[in-house]
Amino acid sequence: MKRANMILLVLLALALPLSLLAGRVWLDFGVTPNAEVILAQLRLPRALLAIIVGAGLGAAGAAMQGYLRNPLADPGLFGIAPGAALGAVASFWFGYSASAWLLPIFALTGAAGAMALLALIAGRTGGIALFTLAGMMIASLAGAMMSLAISFAPNAFAMSEIVTWLMGALTDRSWREVYLAAPLTLAGILCFLMARRDLDALILGDAAARSMGMRPGVLQFWLIAGVGLTVGSGVAVAGIIGFVGLIVPHLVRPFTDRKPSALIIPSALAGALLVLVADSVVRILPTITELRLGIALSLIGAPFFLWLLLRMRRGYSGGLM
Amino acid sequence: MNLSAKNITVTGRIADVSATLEPGKITAICGPNGAGKSTLLSCLGGLITPDNGYAELGGVPLSDMAPIERAKQIGFLPQNGEAAWDVAVRNLVALGRMPHRDAAREPVDAAITALDLEALQDRPISQLSGGEKARALLARVLAGQPEWILADEPLAALDLAHQLALIGHLRKQADAGTGVVIVLHDLALAMNHADRVVVLDKGSFAGQGAAEKMLSHAVISEVWKLDIDWLGESGSKALSIR
């Protein structure tokens, strides 16, 4: 596990400066006009935000797969990402999105609403099935309300803004978003670390875990808080970026001892690396307008998901489990 | 410390069941399907809170104990134990230390040695046979050094040789002073290896005592509705159904 962390840290250290230089304009200090401004005000906050969002999504994916004991689980299952997205959509709908802080605050409020609803429905019994179904219901409800908001958008501009924002991107983000997302994501990852022993106990199932002292309600609290903080803040600053939480734990798992606790930090690092690299790639692709990061990751993630399903259907679980 | 069920009722499953289990013995919980064996075991392990009555350990109701304190004293082996992730045997066994919040090596090494898993400790759990997996799962419980081991049909999926081997491991634990409680379907195994037997019938307590008494022709006829004979000598009896 420590070796995996070291390798990922080295890769991140290599990828970060390359990401800072890469883009429509390849920064060449002394040649590129305003290179320092581009670096300090655009590239650096964007790269850091990619690292923060990716780390949060990766860690949340590892925790969710551990909790649901399912390699196909994704943080989106909790309904918190759609809840946050619904909050952001509401800010567009009511025309508040132009204000610097209101969009992320609306998104975080949406995430908090989804978290509260989830905690309320799942209650203190802590049943995993009820929890998952409640999350799916919230996701479905939030999705329907977003569609409703798009259908009844007050004007074409708002509709276009909503649809574009939902695709997820890190374009034109500033230090403001970094300051918002960094502490929340860090707090979320700490919540997952608080849950790590209980997640390990769940390897042997719910009954064995409870017999070892795992308290289902406490575990759910840490997970709701963790997913709410990481995914909620990620959606608040970058929109919907799917599949990172699903893919990353798979890529990392073979390099760990496969316990959920051993997967959280490497998944955070690998998630950071994946989003940083993907965001750099969408910047340098020769497209007329920049490919949205959310679309790019879905284009990678969906075939990966299918490949996972096919491997599972063949009964091979060596790399999966 | 005795582990006791005091007038336990779980609606729809068991009604007013009381039993007192002693440490240093193997106690088998027997009864036909639907008798409530697993429910009683879960109550004794603190995993189900009864609707009425309570389970207590050394005079302290389990519901008054913090889950982590209960877990240090009662190790529970669920039925059909499966690992969700393909962890190595040693890591699986080390999970037994969770109630103690430590990574002590000695109890894990001792559990691995006690169940003859030294050669397999680095092997992923998916590469074990059924018998090896059952030993690894029991080793996880032993690594927690509990005073009580509760196991829900630990022998169900094993062939005869592995059944005898596993029950031999449980006997060693009982001889060392640990209380062992197992749900058993195989009445011959209960007759030959259990010191005490608790019999449940349709959710009610039907009796508790020595195996010879609780699995007699009369009791089996009444509870299981079977006309049987015990053949052979004490300790190696076989069940013959007429």
Phi, psi angle pair for A229, to nearest 5°:
-75, -45
Instruction: Using an 8 Å CB-CB cutoff, list chain A residues near B84.
Output: 69-70, 202-205, 321
Position A124 scores a pLDDT of: 60
Query: A257 CB near a chain B CB, below 8 Å?
Result: yes
Structure ipTM: 0.91
Q: What is the pLDDT of residue A197?
A: 94
A 66-105 → B contacts, CB under 8 A: 66, 69-70
Q: In angstroms, how far is CA A13 from the centroid of its own chain?
A: 21
The overall average pLDDT reported for chain B is 94
Chain B residues lying within 8 Å of A257, measured CB to CB? 87-88, 91
Asked whether A261 and A200 are in contact (CB, 8 A), the reply is yes
Which of A70, A125, A128, A203 best tests the B interface by mutation, with the highest count of B CBs <10 A?
Answer: A203
Provide the b/e sequence for A19-58 (b: ≥16 CB within 10 Å): bbbbbeeebeeeeeeebeebbeebbbbbbbbbbbbbbbbb
Closest residue on chain A to B98 (Cα): A212
Q: Which of A144-153, A309-318, B24-33, B128-137 has the highest mean pLDDT?
A: B24-33
- Condensed to tens digits (0 to 9), the pLDDT of residues B89-119 reads 999 999 999 999 998 999 999 999 999 999 9
Per CATH, domain A2-313 is 3.40.50.10300: no
B41 contact residues in A (CB cutoff 8 A): none
Question: Domain map of chain B by residue range?
Answer: 3-211
Residue-wise pLDDT tens digits, A116-169: 888 888 766 667 778 888 888 999 999 999 999 989 888 888 888 888 888 888
Ranges assigned E (strand) in chain A: none
CB-nearest to B83 from A204, A210, A211 is A204
Tokens of B228: 């049987």
Residue of A204, A214, A264, A267 to mutate when probing chain B, most B C-beta within 10 A: A204
Q: How many CB atoms lie within 10 A of CB A261?
A: 22
Quote the minimal CA–CA distance from A67 to chain B in Å: 10
**Average pLDDT estimate for A28-39:** 81
**Is pLDDT above 60 for A317?**
no
List the single residue in B with minimal CA-CA distance to A206: B78
> According to the model, what pLDDT value does residue B156 have?
84
Chain B residues close to A203, C-beta within 8 Å: 83-85, 87, 92, 95
Q: 3-state class of A35 per DSSP?
A: helix
Residue B150 forms beta bridges with which residues?
B76, B181
Closest B-chain CA to A321: B85
Would an 8 Å CB–CB cutoff place A316 in contact with chain B?
A: no
Report pLDDT for A320.
Answer: 44
At residue A200, the pLDDT reads 95
Out of A202, A212, A214, the one facing B84 most closely (by C-beta) is A202
Burial of residue B195 (number of CB atoms within 10 Å: 0-12, 13-18, 19+): middle
Domain boundaries, chain A: 2-313
Residue A186, burial from CB neighbour count under 10 angstroms (0-12, 13-18, 19+): middle
Give the DSSP letter of residue A202: G
CA dihedral defined by A267, A273, A275, A277, rounded to 10 degrees?
A: -150
- Cβ-based contacts under 8 A for chains A and B: 84
Q: What is the pLDDT of residue A126?
A: 61
Determine, for residues B71 and A211 on separate chains, whether the beta-carbon distance falls below 8 Å. yes
Put simply, whether A203 touches B (Cβ < 8 Å) is yes
* Chain B hits for A311, Cβ within 8 Å: none
User: For residues A295 and A292, what is the distance between their CA atoms, to the nearest angstrom?
Assistant: 5
User: Strand, helix or coil at A32?
Assistant: coil
Answer yes or no: is pLDDT of A30 > 80.
Answer: no
Q: Encoding tokens for residue A25? A: 């304009």
- Residue-wise pLDDT tens digits, B47-86: 999 999 999 999 999 999 999 999 999 999 998 778 889 9
Question: Which among A66, A210, A321 is the nearest to B47, CB-wise?
Answer: A210
At the topology level of CATH, where does B3-211 sit?
Answer: Rossmann fold (3.40.50)
Nearest CB to B87 within list A69, A213, A259: A259
How many angstroms separate the CA of residue B206 from the nearest CA in chain A?
Answer: 27
Least confident of A56-70, A198-212, A290-304, B216-230: A290-304
Length of chain B: 242
> Which chain B residues are Cβ-neighbours of A261 within 8 angstroms?
none
* pLDDT tens profile A235-260: 989 998 988 998 899 889 989 988 99
* CA distance, residue B87 to nearest chain A CA (Å): 6
DSSP letter (8 states) at residue B124: B
Q: What is the mean pLDDT of chain A?
A: 88
Q: Is B40 on the interface with A (CB under 8 A)?
A: no
Q: Pick the residue of A197, A200, A212, A255 with the most B CBs within 10 A to test the interface with B by mutation.
A: A212
Most A CBs within 10 Å, among B47, B85, B121, to test the A interface: B85
Q: Is B151 on the interface with A (CB under 8 A)?
A: no
pLDDT in tens, B190-214: 999 999 999 999 999 999 999 999 9
Q: Does the pLDDT at position A194 exceed 90?
A: yes
Tokens standing for residue B91: 């890591």
A100 C-beta neighbours (distance < 10 Å), count: 11
Nearest CA in chain B to A215: B67
pLDDT band at A37 (very low <50, low <70, confident <90, very high): confident
Cross-chain Cβ contact A204/B88 below 8 Å? no
Within 8 A of B83 by CB-CB distance, chain A residues are 203-204
Section A259-272 average pLDDT: 96
The residue whose two tokens read 């790269």 is A47
